[in-house]
Structure 1
């Protein structure tokens, strides 16, 4: 009887593991058809700037559209939490699918720039939020030891999708114009995201996550605030890289087609780098790897992008930076799960997303203003410094985590039966940033 129960339990566990990889593929495709499609805005942006497609439209307005699509995806996170709680995962994902497809379709009919604000900006952003935020909170429920690897593979979809859609949008605009290119994107996103919405399943009954849409108590935790600051500063760099590289390519004398290839190479780097970063995270520590990769991106920007004046060097930079520039989005879910736990993950992730509305909205306008007044060098230095500041934030988070682990071990040894982890973390938080915790070499 015991052998039968053990065999049944093993079968259920293996089945769950297998379906976890199905969910990984679904999230990969959702990322490809949200973040990947969104990155193709760089190609449309370069076309609109070169052809002056909309009379009176300024560079600042175009830049705001790209930032708006990401910021609205983050701003809507509380609404996404409410939708998941009331309607369930499949309905929420399907709603996001419809919004993304409608945004692409209606963008094809835009004859004034303000219409793109509503379609490519707001509507697409809302759809991406319903899809990405919902799916990202589900995948960690299926894994423990290979969580970072699974999320790294899934987040690589943004790179593969960006590679395909950058090249596809560039060829489509050249052959058929932007209107029919948008319509092709509407069909592709409807089919891919719709299928994934039906296949992706949550494990909420088992994990029982906190489903509160607004849990402002998360802002009272040092660890959450450090993750927010990491995302805030690195988004200022990431958005600029994502949208500005094709335009930078044309500014140094390259063709629009070469610019689209440079953008595609950045996304290829994302596709290759994120699974590798995820694998290293599981082996070397999730916070350790996130810290190192964020700092490395800043070094690449200052050491390679600043002197990049030829097509070959720019391609090298795009590939190298691409492997590490999206570290925040590739690592934020496993890092957050590491510091808050699975039960608090959905609420904490939603609260982390909200403050990122500001940098995602205004990063590209800030960069374009710097370019307009002081040239691209100022923008390049700004981007590099933002990634380095983000790495410092992660070093502080690593220090907090080490101190938290040591404190828990000490209390475990003292065998306090009524030990309250939450109260203890808050009581001891004043002494967590020390040379010892900053310099200790260990897996975190």
Structure 2
């Protein structure tokens, strides 16, 4: 296994995230501070103490008459007559009620001042230590400059936190995606690949464990594949070697039938001929299933392939006096092992014809489905037994009396299932009201 690249711990990643986020927030605060100072220096906003200074200037020397301040006066004021009526004010509503309350309390506070003039009128002034816009239009339209600046700072800090969190989430999610990709490949038994480097120590430790699992599974499947290939080769060689002696036995038995034999001897020779024919069929099936596995995948027109299947089967159906009902719903092309697939479908359809009584129907239909296509074969035979529904696709299984197992070698449906798997598909068995149904689905 290749040497892993350098990794950092997850705690270091989180610490780095926290430091970067704090630095970004500090930078935002510094930028905000310099902008606020710049606004004050360029005359966009007043400093926070200007309101208090204006009040002190207005009341300096204890004036005897009230002089209305200009539009640049920041403090809230109200001039009340002897009887408490409002003579002049720059506020209204609740703010005016607050100033009237200060008049009745007859007390000063840190942000409220009062002064009584010679004519008996009293002015109440209330100021705030905060930055305000110099432009009176902006003061009327917008919140105080200091509050607006603080709100902008809070929003900026929240956005900074959000962007940094999304960055961390994206980075960690990208690393976690490696586990999903590796799991999918291992689940699909696509083991000839190298597990990537995550760069985070805890993640890489888990990926190392998955790498060991991948290597072990790769070795196991490779050995199984080699053993299976060896068994297939041995079986093919054995079947090939059996052809010659079986041919000799059959030929000699047929020659004996041409001779004048006692009735008991003739029956024994006939039994030899029948058994020899069955053995030859079995050997032919073994040879058929052991060849073609290495056929190349080629882009093939599906409707044409289905028509070829129908043409190759129709003569067998007529010989069995079975009506073959076909419906070609395939479209387009697919990458398939054409000869291998036709042989598998041929086995399925022949099996349906053999189990359908004379005068019955076999329905051979093909159609496009979501994400792929399928071929369905339905007969009017006895259907599958419960055991067959679970075991009929196993190699050499011949235990289905309902389907007339005599004369069958248990390779047809197994071979069809193997071909379906080779094409990333599956073979399904079920029963319907009329008989058995076999469906081969392909992605």
Query: What TM-score comes out, normalization by structure 1 length?
Result: 0.23
Query: What TM-score comes out, normalization by structure 2 length?
Result: 0.23
Larger helix percent? 1
Based on CA coordinates, which of the two structures has the bigger radius of gyration? Answer: 2
Bigger relative CO (Cα 8 Å, ≥ 6 apart): 1
